[in-house]
Amino acid sequence: MKKKLIGRTKEYLRLDKCMREDTAQLIIVYGRRRVGKTYLINQYFRNSFDFKLTGMYGKSRKDQLQAFAAEMTRRSREKNKVPENWTQAFEILREFIEAKSTDEKIVIFFDEMPWLDTHKSGFLSAFEFFWNDYGSAVDNLVFIVCGSATSWLVDNIEHNKGGLFNRQTCKLFLEPFTLNETEEYLVNKGIHWSRYDIAECYMIMGGIPYYLSLLDKELSYLKNIDYLFFRKKAELWDEFDHLYNTLFSSGESYISVVEKLSKKQSGLTRNEISEKTGLAENGVLTKILKNLVDSGFVRENRFFGKKKKDTLYQLADYYSCFYFRYLKENRGRDEHFWSNTLEAPARKAWAGIMFEQVCKDHIRQIKQRIGISGVLSEQSSWYVKADKELGTSGTQIDLIIDRRDRVIDLCEIKFYSDEFVIDSDYDMKIRNRMEAFRRATGTNKAVQIVFITTYGVKTNMYSGIIQKQVTLKDLFMEADDD
């Protein structure tokens, strides 16, 4: 029986289905760097491949072909010359497959495939020809391609217009762990923290398995963060540079975009990004934004009632947000920074902002808790600027759930260390916000307040304004399948 992976049940079932098919399978596995793509494939197949090649970052075609020849020698147990080009290499791979003449599945795994496609290497065209001319007709062949450079896989494999057009039979996009899966992973490591601490840890690392694997069960949450991020030459000291420069060919432009996004948590429009970065508002910027969204680093945050051109792009990668907020200018200055700033107001403000992001990443759990899992809905945000002539102040709502049943949920989100108390001032603030939303949008739908907070809202004379509550416990639920 295959070893069960935490949080990857659906992916296991999908791979099971591929292995039962009686036709050739081309499987694409992609997702953010460090999310566990290679680990998933290695565990599922128990590291038992007929042939496996891993691309090397920044190496030449010659180096990659030498690695191919070395692996072929190991697998075939015959001395193989280094092929002159990728066309020749795939011809060798074809002969290797044909020599097996077995009805058993033949599993080929090309890991970090985007790194094999070096400048003018001819790799992609050679792979296209191999699969279109031969591989797709070998009924027992399972060919897995994997890589962290999601944009390359999407553009060149998934959306390929040439020999690979409509050829992939399965695509698996690995998402980070949810809070539920993160808790399960930590418990499996012998780490037993409060859900409050796990949530704060999630605000820093997200549900990235590699980052979570570095946590030490002998240390508290605070000491772990100090050790992994603020200690000199810590494990995640230079992660940021590796994260972007190894994924995108023009890393500087991507870093410029995410840095500007980090300065405005609610997000920026495409036009604002162009103005702040100096990048022309053309196809290049379009591609950068698309690649960042496809890779999971940036979220498209729709603005309520507006057209697509008004879409807000929001930095969605937790590590990147943490890097710009705390690491970029603070490396090595205070090795106990996280422990020493526990009660700092700025730290609490950061937690409040990041908790909003956690909620957006757990919208399925929120919908499940308030009983609308089966109701078609859209998520968006909204704000209105202050108007001196009308005497109105500016207001913002970071999460709106616009439901097909003609109800709009305005979500109030608070990360708090105790039950949240609504007093007369806050009650008035909520009522003014609802009225401003109704007036500015002209909606005729029912508008209600959903309060999302750590430990709920304390019952008092003002708490009746809340129609539904969602707590941290609810966000840790395992969401129902769609």
Q: Three-state secondary structure along 219-231?
A: CCHHHHHHHHHHC
pTM: 0.91
Name the residue among 67, 102, 95 with its Cα closest to residue 83: 67
What CATH number should be reported for the domain whose range is 241-325?
1.10.10.10
Could you tell me which residues are beta bridge partners of residue 141? Answer: 106
Helix (H, G, I), strand (E, B) or coil at 400: strand
Token pair in block for residue 150: 């999601």
Token pair in block for residue 94: 């074809």
| Alpha-carbon radius of gyration of the chain | 25
How many other CB atoms are there within 10 angstroms of residue 1's CB atom? 3
Name the residue among 90, 94, 117 with its Cα closest to residue 106: 94
| Sign of the dihedral through C-alpha 311, 313, 314, 318 | positive
Query: What is the CATH class of 369-475?
Result: alpha beta
β-pairing, 51-54 vs 170-174, is unpaired
Note the pLDDT of residue 326.
92
Q: How far is CA 430 from CA 142, 188, 412, 426, in A?
A: 56, 42, 9, 6
Note the pLDDT of residue 167.
67
Is it true that 241-325 and 369-475 share their CATH fold?
no
Backbone angles phi, psi at 316, to 5 degrees: -110, -10
Domains of the chain by residue range: 9-174, 179-237+331-356, 241-325, 369-475
Helix (H, G, I), strand (E, B) or coil at 376: coil
Contact 312, 301 (CB under 8 A): yes
Question: Could you give the CA distance from residue 388 to residue 392 in angstroms, rounded to a whole number?
Answer: 6
Superfamily covering domain 9-174: P-loop containing nucleotide triphosphate hydrolases (3.40.50.300)
* Nearby residues of 216 by Cβ (< 8 Å), 6 or more positions away: 224, 227
Count the alpha carbons within 13 Å of 152 in the hemisphere toward its beta carbon. 21
Token pair in block for residue 243: 């994260």
Name the residue among 240, 251, 262, 316 with its Cα closest to residue 288: 251
Token pair in block for residue 73: 């020698």
Residue positions counted in the chain: 482
All residue ranges of the chain with pLDDT < 50 are 1-3
Number of H-type helices and E-type strands within the chain: 20, 12
Tens digits of per-residue pLDDT, 145-192? 999 888 788 888 877 666 665 566 788 999 999 999 999 999 999 999
Contact 420, 458 (CB under 8 A): yes
Contact 125, 157 (CB under 8 A): no
